[in-house]
């Protein structure tokens, strides 16, 4: 029965998150909040809502491994999403059509991932006002990085304006606000259900919370990102496809910081298994591959078959998943 409830919760989460993303896009357009950076943050936040509820509910049931595994596993799975669609739509060469601003997003994501790995390795016990020192450092880097990204995004506004325009929506602002609110409530409920049923599955199967959080729940809560990427590629908006996923990975680090705030007084990173170090390392390696995919067209000496980097990324993902499972 618990497996049925998990699948049902995952299905409803996907449907609601897709609606949430759609209405978020309408709100950003009709409230003059458009633009590359704002659009990416808006969509990233919308599709990352399942991760928010899942991680916070995991804290509520005192399962920090599930909370951390969900966040890091989602980041790992999000990069798999990019690579998988790049392979499937390889003739479109989505990385070739992406804006340079995505490169800076990858850099920030790599820095944050590296800091998470260091925190997982050192497990510093220090806290300030009940918040881990490692989380405060992550927050400072996140805020500073987003500020620099906003400055970079403003300098590429002309480039964004020249991109293919999306069809104008007929959804009213009132309907978008109402729909967004309803979808958000649904996400809050189903995201919590994912955590509770996932925790029970971890006990029943003996797989452990770290693996279930890093793979099963993380994959389920990342499905909205997958749908968003697919829609963006179909619309030939490759910046939105890549930017939404990279933005979600940044937002997920913010979720990890929030989970630490609610977990107190001890640090959440200090309470989890060392297996999460594998997930962090794998995410960093996959980010390097994505970075290469974005910049290689400017590096004539380092050209390879277009599909090769994404194929390597997929292979590394499954190898890392195996290592997490057998750890």
Which tens digits make up the pLDDT trace of 37-52?
555 677 777 778 788 8
3-state secondary structure of 131: strand
C-alpha distances in Å from residue 48, one per residue of 16, 160, 212: 12, 24, 18
Token reading at 185? 């409530």
Q: Can you give the length of the chain in residues? A: 327
Return left, alpha or beta for 206; rule: phi > 0 is left, psi -120 to 50 is alpha, else beta. Answer: left
Q: How far is CA 267 from the centre of its chain?
A: 22
Domains of the chain: 2-326 (1.20.1420.30)
CB–CB of 53/291 below 8 Å?
no
3-state secondary structure of 237: coil
Give the span between the Cα atoms of 120 and 99, in whole angstroms.
33
The closest of 108, 89, 196, 204 to 148, measured between CA atoms, is 108
Q: What pLDDT does 151 receive?
A: 77
Give the span between the Cα atoms of 252 and 267, in whole angstroms.
17
**274-292 tens-digit pLDDT:** 889 999 999 999 999 999 9
Q: What pLDDT does 36 receive?
A: 54
Q: What pLDDT does 249 receive?
A: 93
* Angle ∠(140,142,144) on CA atoms, nearest 5: 65
**74-130 tens-digit pLDDT:** 899 999 999 999 999 988 889 887 777 889 999 999 999 999 999 999 988 888 888
CB–CB of 214/283 below 8 Å?
no
pLDDT at 161 over 70: no
Give the span between the Cα atoms of 196 and 63, in whole angstroms.
10
Q: What mean pLDDT is reported for the chain?
A: 83
Give the span between the Cα atoms of 198 and 10, in whole angstroms.
11
Supply the pTM of this predicted model.
Answer: 0.83
The closest of 252, 233, 270 to 76, measured between CA atoms, is 252
Return left, alpha or beta for 35; rule: phi > 0 is left, psi -120 to 50 is alpha, else beta. Answer: left
Q: What pLDDT does 35 receive?
A: 45
**19-32 tens-digit pLDDT:** 877 787 777 667 65
Cβ neighbours of 163 (radius 10 Å): 15
**177-225 tens-digit pLDDT:** 898 889 888 887 887 787 778 778 877 877 766 666 567 777 777 777 8
Q: What pLDDT does 20 receive?
A: 77
Return left, alpha or beta for 130; rule: phi > 0 is left, psi -120 to 50 is alpha, else beta. Answer: left
């Amino acid at each position: 029965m618990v497996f049925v409830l998990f699948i049902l919760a995952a299905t409803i989460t996907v449907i609601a998150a897709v609606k949430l993303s759609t209405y978020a896009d309408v709100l950003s357009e009709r409230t003059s909040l458009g633009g590359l950076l704002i659009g990416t943050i808006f969509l990233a936040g919308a599709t990352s809502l399942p991760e928010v509820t899942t991680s916070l509910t995991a804290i509520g049931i005192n399962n920090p491994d599930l909370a951390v595994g969900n966040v890091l596993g989602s980041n790992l799975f999000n990069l798999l999403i990019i690579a998988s669609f790049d392979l499937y739509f390889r003739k479109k060469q989505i990385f070739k059509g992406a804006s340079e601003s995505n490169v800076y997003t990858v850099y920030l994501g790599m820095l944050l991932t590296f800091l998470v790995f260091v925190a997982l390795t050192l497990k510093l016990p220090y806290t300030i006002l009940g918040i881990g020192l490692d989380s405060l450092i992550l927050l400072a880097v996140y805020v500073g990085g987003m500020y620099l990204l906003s400055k970079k995004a403003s300098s590429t506004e002309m480039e964004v304006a020249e991109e293919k325009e999306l069809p104008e929506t007929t959804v009213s602002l009132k309907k978008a606000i109402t729909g967004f609110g309803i979808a958000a409530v649904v996400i809050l409920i189903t995201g919590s259900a994912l955590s509770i049923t996932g925790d029970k599955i971890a006990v029943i199967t003996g797989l452990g919370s770290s693996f279930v959080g890093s793979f099963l729940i993380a994959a389920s809560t990342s499905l909205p990102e997958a749908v968003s990427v697919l829609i963006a590629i179909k619309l030939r908006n490759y910046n939105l496809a890549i930017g939404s996923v990279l933005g979600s990975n940044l937002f997920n680090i913010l979720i990890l910081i929030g989970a630490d705030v609610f977990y107190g007084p001890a640090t959440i990173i200090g309470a989890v298994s060392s297996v999460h170090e594998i997930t962090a390392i794998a995410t960093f390696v996959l980010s390097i591959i994505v970075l290469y995919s974005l910049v290689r067209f400017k590096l004539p000496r380092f050209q390879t078959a277009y599909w090769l980097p994404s194929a390597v990324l997929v292979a590394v993902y499954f190898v890392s998943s195996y290592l997490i499972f057998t750890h």
